[in-house]
Amino acid sequence: MKKIISVGRGGTGKTSFIAGLSFVLRDKSPLLIIDADPDESLSHFLGAENFKTISEVLFDIKEKKVREEVEKLTLPEKINYLIQQEAIYEGDFFDFISLGVKWSEGCYCQPNNILKGIIKRLEKNYNLVLIDSPAGLEHINRRITTDLDYLFILVDPSQKSLESIGRFKKLLQELKIKFKEIFIVANFRYPEDKLYLIEKETGLACIIKLPYDKEVEELALKGEPFYKLSKNSLFLKKIKELVENLKL
């Protein structure tokens, strides 16, 4: 089993990147895809529907909006049962879990802890685990997962994006999160002639620059899944190139 996570500032393309990876890697199924971003965009890109997020399950339990036979269970039994029955989307080549939007007051501690437990319990059943993270560093601080194979940091053409790379590296070391490789991915807005600045500023070379793809833009605007991308999609071709180079 290999575990892959995308991180970066908001709007750099983390979700699109994970969605693209999932479709290119479909022949490596079974895949477990995890949306740890409360924005919940990944489900649209994957075409996953008719499931509940972890946060929705917890809200139903809190508000006693569960069936009578479930209400009789202990709290841990309720959570485990409802997540298994309602919060794991089973697709043709992947399973999908989403943290979701918090529906009640308080922090994300409980949903995050549950997600961490699910990852630990389920990951051994899959060839690949792909995780789409929220923007920023807080999710790493919560240690949703503590060991990784590949960490992809998505960057846009801004100084703040480059500075975030150093912060990610420092936080990973401080929290003792294990990882094998860190790769920098430049989004389509990054100028080709400025890519050298990434290694100059961070010490890490850019492994790939994603291309602008009108098909991706149109699907994203409509909220439609990436499986509708054609075989000529520049975005998927570049992702496939990356997968082949890294031998994922």
| pLDDT tens for each residue of 38-90 | 777 899 999 999 999 988 998 899 889 999 999 999 988 998 899 999 999 99
Is residue 138 over pLDDT 80? no
Is there a domain that residue 64 lies in?
no
Residues 223-245: what's their mean pLDDT?
92
170-212 pLDDT, tens digit per residue, is 877 777 777 788 899 999 999 999 999 999 988 888 999 999 9
Is there a domain that residue 212 lies in?
yes
Residue 126 sits in a domain of what CATH number?
3.40.50.300
Q: Residue 217's domain spans which residues?
A: 2-27+118-246
Is there a domain that residue 35 lies in?
no
> What is the CB-side half-sphere exposure of residue 155 using CA atoms within 13 A?
33
Is there a domain that residue 43 lies in?
no
The residues, any chain, with a CB within 8 Å of residue 88's CB and separated by 6 or more, are: 51, 95, 96, 97
Instruction: Give the chain's domain count.
Output: 1
Is there a domain that residue 128 lies in?
yes
CB 151 within 8 A of CB 185: no
Residue 7 β-bridge partners: 153
